[in-house]
Structure 1
Amino acid sequence: MTSIALIPELLQKILSYHKENPKIIFKCALVSKSWCDTAIPFLWKKPFRFCYSTFHYKIVRVYLQFLHKEFLEKFDLNQIIFSDNSSPPSYNYLSFLQEFVYLTLYESLLNLLKKQRSYKTLSTSEKDQDDQLCPSFHPSKQFMINKLLPILNELCNLFIKNGTKILNFNLSALYVNCSCKWFPLNDIKLPLNSLSSIQSFICDNNGCDFGDIVMELSKYSRNIFSIEIKKPQSHQNISQWVTLINSQRYLQKLKLEMFYSKYSSMIALAIPSQYHSLKEVELTYCKFYQASLLDELSSCPNLISLKVKDCSFTEKSKIINHFVSLKSLYVSKSQLPQEYFLAMLGKPSKLEKITLNLIDFFKYPKIIPFICLNCFQLKVLEIVLVEETFEKLIPIMENCQLLEEISIWEKFDCIGHEFYDYHDSYFGNYMNPNLVIKKISNCLPRNLKKLHFSQLFNFTFEDIQYFIQNAPNTLQDLKFYIIVNDKNNVINLLENFAGNRKSIIKHSESRINYSKIIHHIFIAKFL
């Protein structure tokens, strides 16, 4: 069979489009030697992503073959990495690695060592006299110090010595909820001076203090584009994170998760150094006693995406600036002064996508009117509405005529009552959903492509028929719930609307009540 010859640069470009599909890359590696030379680096850039976790130990086994023979003999590794038919590695797999996840490497090495016959003896017989037998069968602290961590640290050094260019670094701590104290954090040794190339850094403190490592990174790694911080522990720890952020030349993405302490607001001190570079910020499960972080973020002229999920801000500032550069805003189940909601919506607004999930619009009555008056460039709206607030969609439809996608999400009963769109004074004093959909039908945006209604709104056939008659031919994705006895009437209606376009119509019965009225759900796509 004649092999397929391509210029290596061209083949590399082609494979780059399939870099997240290891099956295609692997098949390409089998074509010829030249194809294999080009494909192998793609498979080994992020090898732990491309196989099941139960097979991660096989990757570590390959890495261990690059260690010195003396080291392998010292830690009795020959028997688990070499076999009678084994051969030396064909490539320098270490040099291809670009994503370094410390926790994954640790767990993979531990699983490999467990395959040794002596593992059970080593992990239990070396218990200190003061240690009690671990009910979770964790390895002993002595086993960690005398065997596993030395091997792990040597592997880390080996990556650097082989010219490995780490771009993504994940330093997440193990979740330790055991009195045996089996994981000695202080024994982690990383060659941080060789991590100057990292562009993405994720750190889950998980009850640990990585302060020393963070401070070392601030000296050597100054070109990080993305930083994710989870569960910082103390005033000092947050100060060290501020130092790391301040040391970056061009930080573009920042994610903060589970900032709970009274010192959490200190992270705002890091924002001024990145005023002109920050583009995306995500705040998740945080509690800030001051709103200084939001004040600083509003001063970032290039901030285009802001996500605030399950967060609260206790105090507000006297002067609140608008987020005039935002193009995407996501707010879910968060408590903050209404003034900050309005500031995020901007004035004037450049927002093209707004997601408002589990926001009480009776508590924040100015949000919807502000969208109508300012968000004329809005293209995507994702929002949770109930019967009492469904009518609030009408003015948005009337004023935001560039809308292309509208999704009305379900509310979840497991969420606390304080996030419901409900107020006693509105009991029976709101527009019927059947009337709302008719009013919406009269002002549908001309470029509308997607519209999903939630299960709360069970329309009649006449409502859906009126909507379809007024819907623009740009509509491609429709989801609704309807009360109808004959589903074929709805199917015929949707097929007639499709016209010459191909239609994919999915249908199911949602529930049947005692009056034998059938509730249906329809999902239709027009191609």
Structure 2
Amino acid sequence: MDQLPTLPTDCLNEIIEHLEKDKNTLHSCLLVNRLWCKISVRILWKDVWDYKDIYQQRSLGMATSILSTLVACLPNKSKENLHKNEITISTPTSKSPLFNYASFCQVLLICEIIKMVYNVLRDMPSVNSLSLQDRNCLVTNEIIKMFMNQTSLKKLTYMYNYYHCNLSFPYIFGVRNLSELRCGTNITSDFYYQLSQTCHNLQSISIEFHSNEVSNELKELISLQSNLKNLTLLAYYDNGWESIIPTITKHPNTLTKLHLCSDDDNLSLSFVSLFSNLQEIIFSFLESADFEDFKMLQFAKFPNLQILKIPYYCPKPEYIMNFLENNGKNLKNFYISENDRALSLSIANFCPNLKSLCVAFNNSEIDVLKTIFIGCQYLERIKVWCGGDYLIVKKVFETVANHASNNFCELKIYNSSNSAFISPEDLELFFVSWKDRTPKKLLTLIGINCFHYTYNSLVNEENMNIIKKYENLGIIKFKTRSYYEEGKEEECCY
């Protein structure tokens, strides 16, 4: 039999790279041939921690498999140290591994390593005087030291240390190419000192505040960055970011994305006005309050602002309206959960170039949705709440079919009730109306349930038959999504 033609390596790399989120298919690629195996292994290990979500616990078997592979990749000096302390962790093979798997890793979650080592070692009997905590620290330090010497690392997370593992960072050589850091203010200052020696090209920093004080070493690390673009500050339980404001405001020109997340309405917000080049702002306020400091921010101008998200509690609507009047012209994406008629109407007046919108309406405000469609002629996608006190989905369908612009292509519906809220007849009428639009454009319809994510009232047997019919006709594409999945995609809060 003639040998099948092979794709160029670069082309094959591109194709398999698109399977990054499909772990099952990637594992199948390992078995094709040596080249496919080499490419697939690199992608699988790029973010080896990415195989669970918030509802799933990492299995002990998976943790053991990852840990044993990492131990096999340790340099001989580290293996000798484990052997000297009578710590035995079985490896997949007695020989050297086929690949240096650690060198493929671009993401390092230090807290995950600490937890993984603890879960694997806790059931292993101790054969010497070392305590479980001492063994955990020894193994964890050797693995982290190996990772810290890999130049492949792009993202590093170290935000807390639940197991009180005593980590040391005497030499950090491989992080000079690090582009993203997620950290906490309670991490040892030596960690930040060592990072600051070689790591000067961070583009994204996320800081979780565990106290109101910030170490000088962390401040120095932030000050040394030459191209900081994205900054996230998370402050809960009466902790605040005031002490770090003088440091972060040293980057007024490079910063383009800012995310502030807090449960304290007294935290400073006015400093945001210093970052005039911001393209994206997210305010994740987790408590209902007036946020009076936003009063100073409402008249600030951000000429490059394209994305504004306020996914939880909102400052006073009049403050947001003034903010939109000053900054809404260039907005492309606006996400707000506030239910206020005047604020919703202001979107049509101040945000003519919107492409994506999420907003809540009362069940009597279908006219406001119509006004937004008329005023925002570039709108491509919208998310609305339906059911209960919110809009009637039948009226939403009618408004979308009759008033959405020619650019419109995606409708997301949050089901805020536990009852079925669309009949098969109304669903089909909407699809027929969409089919008859000129120009014809494929519509993506996404049903999101705000309650039990296993249930969605759009998906009963009759409705599903209609949906499949119009999917086959190329009129619509239908998806269901849980509230968690939707929030994860929006990445409104970490």
Using the aligned pairs only, state the percent identity. Answer: 19
- For structure 1, the 5+ residue unaligned runs are 127-141, 177-182, 413-419, 422-430, 481-486, 508-527
* 1:285-304 deviation per Cα after TM superposition (whole angstroms, max 9, x unaligned): 3425254455336x332423
User: 2:335 is aligned with what amino acid?
Assistant: T
User: Any conservation in 1 of the 2:153–2:178 contact (CA below 8 Å)?
Assistant: yes
C-alpha displacement of 1:151: 2.5
Change (3 A) 1:491 1:258: closer
Aligned counterpart, 1:143: 132
Aligned partner of residue 196 in structure 1, secondary structure = helix
1:476 aligns with 2:443: yes
1:156 aligns with 2:144: yes
User: Any conservation in 1 of the 2:180–2:204 contact (CA below 8 Å)?
Assistant: yes
The one of 267, 271, 278 equivalent to 2:255 is 278
Distance 1:157 1:351 in 2: 45
Aligned counterpart, 2:362: 386
Distance 2:109 2:202 in 1: 16
Aligned counterpart, 2:340: 361
Residue pairs, 1:310-325, within 5 angstroms: 310=286, 313-316=291-294, 318=296, 320-325=299-304
Change (3 A) 1:250 1:343: farther
Aligned partner of residue 326 in structure 1, secondary structure = coil
The one of 90, 93, 102 equivalent to 2:110 is 102
User: 2:233 is aligned with what amino acid?
Assistant: L
User: Any conservation in 2 of the 1:309–1:334 contact (CA below 8 Å)?
Assistant: yes
C-alpha displacement of 1:204: 4.4
C-alpha displacement of 1:199: 1.0
User: Any conservation in 2 of the 1:3–1:31 contact (CA below 8 Å)?
Assistant: no
The one of 199, 223, 227 equivalent to 2:205 is 227
Distance 1:193 1:107 in 2: 24
* 1:188-239 deviation per Cα after TM superposition (whole angstroms, max 9, x unaligned): 446335422211111245xx344442344234311111112223312234x6
Aligned counterpart, 1:28: 29
The one of 35, 55, 58 equivalent to 2:65 is 58
Aligned counterpart, 2:89: 80
Aligned partner of residue 150 in structure 1, secondary structure = helix
Distance 2:162 2:181 in 1: 19
Distance 1:310 1:284 in 2: 7
Distance 2:30 2:333 in 1: 41
* 1:165-192 deviation per Cα after TM superposition (whole angstroms, max 9, x unaligned): 321111132336xxxxxx255x444633
Aligned counterpart, 1:426: none
Aligned counterpart, 1:304: 280
* 1:113-157 deviation per Cα after TM superposition (whole angstroms, max 9, x unaligned): 2353337x96xxx7xxxxxxxxxxxxxxx5323x22122212222
Distance 1:223 1:22 in 2: 31
Change (3 A) 1:339 1:219: farther
The one of 405, 417, 440 equivalent to 1:445 is 405
Aligned counterpart, 1:523: none
TM-score by length of 1: 0.70
Aligned partner of residue 348 in structure 2, secondary structure = helix
User: 1:278 is aligned with what amino acid?
Assistant: L
User: Any conservation in 1 of the 2:307–2:331 contact (CA below 8 Å)?
Assistant: yes
The one of 254, 262, 266 equivalent to 1:289 is 266
User: Any conservation in 2 of the 1:383–1:407 contact (CA below 8 Å)?
Assistant: yes
Aligned partner of residue 226 in structure 2, secondary structure = coil
Aligned partner of residue 287 in structure 1, secondary structure = coil
Aligned counterpart, 1:352: 332
1:332 aligns with 2:311: yes
Residue pairs, 1:452-471, within 5 angstroms: 452=412
The alignment of Structure 1 onto Structure 2 pairs a total of residues equal to: 448
C-alpha displacement of 1:42: 2.7
Change (3 A) 1:150 1:377: same
Change (3 A) 1:361 1:265: farther
User: 2:443 is aligned with what amino acid?
Assistant: Q
Larger radius of gyration: 1
- For structure 2, the 5+ residue unaligned runs are 53-57, 448-460, 481-494
Change (3 A) 1:456 1:388: farther
Aligned counterpart, 1:341: 320
Change (3 A) 1:340 1:90: same
Change (3 A) 1:347 1:273: same
User: Any conservation in 2 of the 1:102–1:171 contact (CA below 8 Å)?
Assistant: yes
Distance 2:26 2:469 in 1: 44
User: Any conservation in 1 of the 2:276–2:303 contact (CA below 8 Å)?
Assistant: no
Aligned partner of residue 26 in structure 1, secondary structure = helix
C-alpha displacement of 1:468: 7.1
1:252 aligns with 2:229: yes
Aligned partner of residue 233 in structure 2, secondary structure = strand
